[in-house]
Structure 1
Amino acid sequence: MDNSNNVNPYINTIPKSLYDYNSQFNELEYKRFTELMIASNVMFVNKTPITSQVQSVEDFMYAIDVQRINDIKNCVKLLKGLAVFRQQCDHDQLILIKYGALEIHTLRSISYYDYQNEAFNIAIDENNTTVLQLTLLKQFGCDLYNNFKLFLNSLYRLYDMDDNILNLITVIILFNPNRPNLKHQETIKLEQKVYMHLLKRYLTMKYQNDCESSKRYLQLINTLLDLNFYDKRYKESSMSRPTLPALIHEIIVE
């Protein structure tokens, strides 16, 4: 997907003065980072035996809906584990969840994406996992399939099988000050900057190379544009489906 004409609002929003150290978190950073890691435990993907493989688009959509609902519910649990989210007014909490949940689902689908076999391994219940081959997306158009495959493969390499990176990107998406009708936009913007700063710091400590960490940071932040694109595509296509699970309907209907 070509985003060359898009301006990414997430880039260059953190003061450079915050990057004067690169060996360890300070006390406040460590407290915020640790809180996020604990809250993010709800997003852990349980590994269950593979017992089936999806053969039809209908079954593909059903399995994705199951996982999407699970991701949305876990996203809410994660947010409630963060003091800064609980401090937001009820109105803004609902807005952040409503407009961020599907992007989070798409982002975190990388955690159950089988890179080698180009498939999603979706846990249907505690005892069964079904395999969804990415090629089934070709029935929605080859462009969608090719672009989404490139996105997943790129994200897979960028997040480096590191859940800490995935968790930080998750809250950066959730605390998006550009969501519509927020009452306390500046407060949300500040919290997003804090987590963007933590991501930058974490990458610096992880790779111990300013050039590598900066490159990865920018590439990770640029994935937010792709997530927004796929969120819009999903909402548009979902409106033509005869039925939708109640929770997903509530999320996508303006």
Structure 2
Amino acid sequence: MQELVDANRILKTPMNVACNVPSDAEISFLDVVRITDLAMRRIISMVKMLSFFNEQTQSDKIAIIKGSLSELLILRGVMVFDPVRDVWRHDIYQGSKEILLNFDILKKTPEQKHYAEHKKFLLSFDDKWRRNENVMLILNAIALFCPDRPNIKDVTKVQSCQRRYYNLLKRYLETQCSETESQQAYDSLLQKLP
């Protein structure tokens, strides 16, 4: 668990991305693209800090990252989404005010159907778990080590890593609530993953 928390530090630091607007103005779609690009780079850096990832062959590392990057980005979005204000909360610059990315920015994408599906996914997370960094980090690790990704050669090794994170999630939830509630939460959270 500590390794996930340590690796996550890179994602918690302000982004220092060049946005062309002050923090209280509306963010453009191009700014969102820049922020997303930087977030993906930081996710890759975070993943490279995980020992289970570094134990994989080079070709499997590439397949794991290619196959999981968009899912990890979406799960990161769950962690910073404010369902009351319908925004993602980000610190862009060190010492700056928090930037609020309005969810409606997704309406500017060519695929309108993704807007509704994405919002439904974000809102499907119980606040208790959305705000629990440990739970969300373990879910990220489970998604990362999905053995069904295209081009993975050593499926058994990747599956073994994923199984360890399944077990970690189960044990962690058992420390957070009753046995019945932890099992319900475990089942509910795993149903959200592909």
Q: Which residue of 2 aligns with 1:134?
A: 103
Q: Which residue of 2 aligns with 1:87?
A: 55
2:192 to 223, 228, 234: 223
1:178 to 148, 151, 166: 148
CA gap 1:51/1:131 in 2 versus in 1, 3 angstroms: same
1:121 to 69, 86, 89: 89
| Secondary structure, aligned partner of 1:52 | coil
Q: Displacement, 1:73?
A: 1.8
Equivalenced residue count is 187
Q: Which residue of 2 aligns with 1:52?
A: 25
Larger Rg: 1
Same amino acid, percent of matched pairs: 25
- How far apart, in 2, do the equivalents of 1:36 and 1:129 lie? 24
Q: Does 1:65 align with 2:33?
A: yes
Task: Please provide the CA RMSD for this pair.
Answer: 2.5
Q: Which residue of 1 aligns with 2:19?
A: none
Q: Which residue of 2 aligns with 1:100?
A: 68
CA gap 1:156/1:108 in 2 versus in 1, 3 angstroms: farther
Q: Which residue of 2 aligns with 1:5?
A: none
Q: Displacement, 1:138?
A: 4.1
CA gap 1:139/1:80 in 2 versus in 1, 3 angstroms: closer
Question: Structure 1: 5+ residue runs without aligned partners?
Answer: 1-32, 226-254
Q: TM-score, normalised by structure 2?
A: 0.84
Q: Is the 8 A contact 2:130 2:136 kept in 1?
A: no
Question: Structure 2: 5+ residue runs without aligned partners?
Answer: 17-21
Moved more, 176-185 or 216-225: 216-225
